[in-house]
């Protein structure tokens, strides 16, 4: 299996622009997670889906952030409008139920 | 949510030395994982170990679930072991089902 695939690997955008991050989970995994990593806050969960349904979005910072999972093999995390404080590494992870989770390589987002 | 504390926060070793990293957690857990974040930022799965002991080459891990801690042992360390080691736990209950809580990590530097 190719593992969890995220795109793009790097994104540089100007403040106010819309940013869309993409994730393809491991085939057969029914749980998908979006995490954000910063120096200040470490790794924090933004949202997770189970069987394509959002289960917990309490970590989503504010209304500028939204996430979708239209099918079992694809998810997006969108920031609109983006702000410099959104600069971070965004990780997607997937698992089969509550079993071992695997992470993608992350998207490094820089908002200038 | 569950509190996860890792120690030490930083560790500097000479190549060939052994080390022990500790992870304490505040509640009973259904899932515990150890990850290595390499200098390129990739999160690599080391162990899925909710209880018991596992070994993989120079690395081994032990989780004592009843006492709420896990240990990661690195023997004969190599420069490629450098990076941040994260412990993450999942409670398996209620509203936090499936959600991984991360510690702040142990930054390991191995010098040649």
pLDDT tens digits for range B4-43: 999 999 999 999 999 999 999 999 888 999 999 998 999 9
The whole-number pLDDT of residue B91 equals 81
What is the pLDDT at residue A1?
A: 64
Which class for A59: exposed (0-12), middle (13-18), buried (19 or more C-beta within 10 A)? middle
SS3 A110: strand
The pLDDT of residue B95 is 61
Region B86-111: mean pLDDT is 87
Share of chain B above pLDDT 70, in %: 96
pLDDT bin (cut points 50, 70, 90) of residue A61 is confident
Per-residue CA distances from A40 to A24, A44, B26 (Å): 28, 11, 22
Distance CA A19, CA A44 (A): 19
SS3 state at A58 = coil
Phi and psi torsions of A52, nearest 5°: 75, 0
Establish if A105 touches chain B: CB-CB under 8 angstroms: yes
Please count the residues of chain A.
112
**Nearest residue of B to residue A33 by CA position?**
B99
Asked whether residue B94 carries a pLDDT value surpassing 70, the answer given is no
Which of A56, A93, A101 is closest, CB to CB, to B95? A56
Q: Where are the beta strands (DSSP E) in B1-112?
A: 4-7, 10-14, 19-25, 31-37, 43-48, 52-56, 59-64, 69-74, 83-90, 101-102, 106-111
Give chain A positions within 8 Å (CB) of B95. 56
Give the C-alpha separation, A32 to A51, whole Å: 8
Task: Provide, as residue numbers in chain A, all residues whose Cβ is less than 8 Å from the Cβ of B100.
Answer: 33, 45, 93, 101
Q: Which residues make beta-bridge pairs with A43? A: A37
Are A42 and B102 inside 8 Å of each other by CB? yes
Distance from A25 to chain B by nearest Cα, in Å? 15
Phi, psi of A85 (to 5 degrees): -70, -5
pLDDT of residue B96: 64
Mean pLDDT on B82-100: 84
Percent of chain A, pLDDT > 70?
Answer: 99
Question: What is the rounded CA–CA span in Å between residue A102 and residue A88?
Answer: 19
Location of structure tokens 């530097």:
B109
């Amino acid at each position: 299996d190719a593992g969890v695939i995220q795109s793009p690997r790097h994104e540089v955008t100007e403040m106010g622009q819309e940013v869309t991050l993409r994730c393809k989970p491991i085939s057969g995994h029914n749980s998908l997670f979006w995490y954000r990593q910063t120096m200040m806050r470490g790794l924090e969960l933004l949202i997770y889906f189970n069987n394509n349904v959002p289960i917990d979005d309490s970590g989503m910072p504010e209304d500028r952030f939204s996430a979708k999972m239209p099918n079992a093999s694809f998810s997006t995390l969108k920031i609109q409008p983006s702000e410099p404080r959104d600069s971070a590494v965004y990780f997607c992870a997937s698992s089969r139920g509550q079993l071992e989770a695997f992470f993608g390589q992350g998207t490094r987002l820089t908002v200038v | 949510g569950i509190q996860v504390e890792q120690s030490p926060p930083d560790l500097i070793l000479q190549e060939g030395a052994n080390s022990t990293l500790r992870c304490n957690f505040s509640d009973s857990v259904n899932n515990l994982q150890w990850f290595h974040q390499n200098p390129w930022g990739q999160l690599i799965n080391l162990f899925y170990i909710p209880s018991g002991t596992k070994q993989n080459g120079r690395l081994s891990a032990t989780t004592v679930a009843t006492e709420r801690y896990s240990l990661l042992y690195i023997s004969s360390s190599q420069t490629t072991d450098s990076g941040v080691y994260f412990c993450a736990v999942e409670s398996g209950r209620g509203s936090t089902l499936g959600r991984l809580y991360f510690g702040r990590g142990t930054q390991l530097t191995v010098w040649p």
